[in-house]
Structures are given as structure tokens and as C-alpha cells.
Amino acid sequence: MRRAHCRCETVRNFDYEEAAEKLGCKARFLRDNIRRLPHQRMGEAVVFCDCELDLIRALHTFVPPSVEALLNPPAPSAAPSEVPTLHSIRPSKGRNTARVS
């Protein structure tokens, strides 16, 4: 099996307990879900490198659509909208300009 996802210069592997510690989860969770988690199996041993831990994080990262929209605003050409971009917003003229002493 190729390890295209692995970008470790020097692979350092972590066992269930170490991986759980790094991820901040329970080792039990990793064991229970190992069939759908990227990992290496060597005989009885199951280990994870940093890249696999990153993939596990990505697999369990949930971003609500409202937050996703904030992070990735639709491109103007693809989805024209009436919402002004930050760059198009200018301070209004009038109040609070010259007379503040």
C-alpha cells in the first residue's frame, strides 16, 4: 500500500494511547473506529503517524454551513449578490468628520 498521504520526513509512529493523547480523544474511540480511520497495521500493532492523525482530525472536523460561508465567500462572478464586500464599503460621509474637537 502506498503512503501517498504521508509527508513525514521521518515517520514517527504513535500507538493508540499516544495517538489519543495527541488528538485529545479516548484511545477507546480509536479502537472502536479503527476500520474507518487511516492507520498502519503491523501484525497485532496499530500505529499512526502525524499525517494519519491529521486525516483523523479532518475526518472529524465539522464546520457549520454558516461558518463555511464566512470562510469561503462565494466568488462574485459565480454568485452575484447584493452583499457588499469589505473593500466596497466606505465610511459614510457626514456625521463625525470635521467637527470633532
Binding site for Zn ion (CB under 5 A): 6, 8, 49, 51
C-alpha cell, 62: 465539522
Residue 38 C-beta: closest distance to Zn ion, Å: 10
Place of cell 480511520: 37
Integer Cα distance of 42 and 67 in angstroms: 40
Task: With H, G, I as helix, E, B as strand and everything else as coil, classify residue 38.
Answer: coil
To Zn ion, the closest distance from the beta carbon of 44 in angstroms equals 21
Q: How far is the CB of 11 from Zn ion (least distance, A)?
A: 5
Phi, psi of 88 (to 5 degrees): -85, -10
Q: Given the complex with Zn ion, which of 4 and 71 has the nearer CB atom?
A: 4
Q: Is the dihedral of CA 51, 57, 58, 59 positive or negative?
A: positive
Nearer to Zn ion, 8 or 59 (CB): 8
| 8 versus 45: smaller Cβ distance to Zn ion | 8
